[in-house]
Amino acid sequence: MSSLVIDLIIWILLIASVGFGLISLVGLLLFPDTRSRMYTAVRACLISIGATGLAAIIYGLNALQTAGGNQYLTLILHTLMLVVVVATGNYVVSCIILEKTHPLAEKPVPKRKKP
């Protein structure tokens, strides 16, 4: 059985994760250009994934300490691996998008000729 403090910490992390996931979604839908969408989505998504991963790790550590068993150690290792893979993939995609949109930001807007 987990303590009330551990349960509250896990619930707070999960609620924060959902909140930052919604911020990421709203940022993708509302912002007009690719750079601002990318900035909001990547940052909020990484915080959301980090909070979810931390909640799973805290649960696994607490269950490992109280009940024991290899399944909780496996949960912790898989969660760490998932967070690293998703964070790395998010970073790589962010760099690719930044590289693709960088030349667009430097091009001057042509002036219209007056009739």
How does DSSP assign the chain, residue by residue? ---HHHHHHHHHHHHHHHHHHHHHHHHHHH-SSHHHHHHHHHHHHHHHHHHHHHHHHHHHHHHHHHT--HHHHHHHHHHHHHHHHHHHHHHHHHHHHHHHHHHHHHSPPPPPPP-
What is the model's pLDDT at position 105?
54
Instruction: Tell whether 32 is covered by a domain.
Output: yes
Residue 112 lies in a domain: no
- pLDDT of amino acid 52: 93
> Residue 102's domain spans which residues?
4-106
Does 111 map to a domain? no
Flag whether 114 is in a domain: no
Is residue 78 in a domain?
yes
Q: For residue 115, what pLDDT is reported?
A: 63
- 94 with 38: CB under 8 angstroms? yes
Assess if residue 98 is contained within a domain.
yes
In a domain, 51, yes or no: yes
Could you read off the pLDDT tens digit of each residue along the chain, which spans 115 residues? 568 999 999 999 999 999 999 988 888 888 887 777 777 788 888 899 899 999 999 999 999 898 888 899 999 999 999 989 988 888 888 788 777 776 655 556 566 776 6
- pLDDT recorded at residue 14: 95
115 lies in some domain:
no
Query: How many domains would you assign to the chain?
Result: 1
